[in-house]
Amino acid sequence: MNRSILNRRAFLGNLGMAGALAMMPHRAMAAADGGRKLGVALAGLGNYSTGQLGPALKLTKDCRLAGVITGSPDKGRRWAEEYGFPETHIYGYDTMAEMADNPDIDIVYVVTPNGLHAGHTIAAAKAGKHVICEKPMAVTVEECDAMLAACREAGVRLGMGYRLHYEPCHIELKRLAETSRFGRFTKMDGGFSFVLNGQQWRIERELSGGGPLMDLGVYVVQNHFMAAGDVMPVAVSAREEPKERPDFFTEVEETIRWEMEFPGGVEATGHTSYNQRRNEFRAEAEEGWYQIDSAFGYRGQSARSHLGPLEFDAPESQQALQMDAFARHVRDGEPNLVPGEMGRRDMVVIEAIYASAADDGKRVELKF
């Protein structure tokens, strides 16, 4: 990572240079473009872009990779050669405003570290581009509000990189919650954890905003909302577990657990860690239960209920479905299943979980 380019404070301090572009007419409202593939620029070429989003953009039907934003021009040129876009579509984090003059780029997908999401989203919006922001939306609710305001002012759309809303086992979870086939889900539990090794930005608070809760726990929070039928919870309580590797996790939590209260006595529990292994979600109702195993990965999900195993056709790429859906939202006006407001909602919960854990598990009421 090029810290001279990705320094969070420096970048946020330089946003004003793009301010004059905020009200520039956007070129990518493409209803008149005959259903063309919309151009996506990836902002950040780390592991997720390299291993998941780039390959997914070779599978998409409604969008294509049209450019990149990177701190490494050499890396950008390698991407241009592989994906067939011109080198003039390679931008730096300090030249994002220049995208306003590029009609081939309609959408910027922000895939930089969490602490940079707000700045890069705002810069993309001011350049007149729609934005997909990878999870978590930002590191504070205040930043989420600034991102939403910038997109409103620029007249562009904001979506979240919540790929699991397009994964069949999770689609079934939402369907069961909406139809109450097993009755109302009243008890939920989920956990997503793995063992993190190697020095990286995820354990640096300025860039990550927090530890596994920001990175992994947000998936569990999403599933709580799915199983609750998107009903808003009323309170959370949480505790951070003692660190087994305090010399490694010096700035962020290692393991954290929480409880979330919904109206009507519905309860949800969650767990996430950078030093354990867990990956499942279960929802229970009066007339049955539903469970997703390998719940939060890029592939490999399986589902079962009290009636037995369930079979679904797994997509070749969750990310391709997610990006195509956002492209159709922009181009054709299809509903946005994962809007920026959803990312803000989840950040309200995450902030409250951290506040409770910092106050010895005190119950924190939620205000959305």
CB 130 within 8 A of CB 158: yes
Mean pLDDT of 116-144: 98
State the amino acid at position 330 in one-letter form. V
CA 158 vs CA 46, 60, 128, 129: distances in Å:
22, 19, 12, 9
CA-to-CA dists, residue 52 to 139, 231, 326, angstroms: 23, 31, 17
pLDDT of 338 above 50: yes
Residue 99 contacts residue 127 (beta carbons within 8 Å) = yes
Domains defined along the chain, listed by start: 3-162 (3.40.50.720), 168-314+338-365 (3.30.360.10)
Shortest CA distance to 329 belongs to which of 318, 317, 340? 340
Q: Give residue-wise pLDDT tens across range 135-181.
A: 999 999 999 999 999 999 999 999 999 999 999 999 999 999 999 99
Provide the CA 311 distance to its chain's centre, in angstroms. 27
Phi, psi for 170 (deg, rounded to 5)? -80, -35
With beta carbons less than 8 A apart as the criterion, state whether 163 and 306 touch.
Answer: no
> Residue 14 pLDDT > 70, yes or no?
no
* Separation of alpha carbons 110 and 134, rounded Å: 6
Assess contact for 295 and 221: CB atoms under 8 A.
no
CA 23/CA 137 separation, integer angstroms? 23
Q: How far is CA 119 from CA 68, 103, 285, 335, 348, in A?
A: 16, 22, 42, 26, 19
* pLDDT, tens only, 208-229: 999 999 999 999 999 999 999 9
Q: Which residues contact 140 (CB under 8 A, 6 or more apart)?
A: 209, 347, 351
Residue 271 vs residue 28, higher pLDDT? 271
Please report, for residues 28, 38, 124, 132, 330, the alpha-carbon distance to residue 33 in angstroms, rounded to integers and kept in the order given.
9, 10, 22, 21, 12
DSSP state for residue 40 in the 8-state scheme: E
CA dist 177 and 202 (Å) reads 33
Task: Provide the pLDDT for residue 34.
Answer: 53
Residue 48: beta bridge partners? none
CA dihedral 99, 101, 104, 107 (to 10 degrees): 40
Tell me which H or E stretch contains 80. Answer: helix 73-83
Query: DSSP label at 338?
Result: S
What pLDDT, on the 0 to 100 scale, is given for residue 31?
36
C-alpha span between 114 and 348 (Å, rounded): 15
Tokens 């220049």 locate to 98
Confidence class of residue 35 from pLDDT cuts 50, 70 and 90?
Answer: confident
Q: How far apart are CA 165 and CA 250, in angstroms?
A: 34
Lowest model confidence (mean pLDDT) among 13-27, 153-167, 335-349 = 13-27
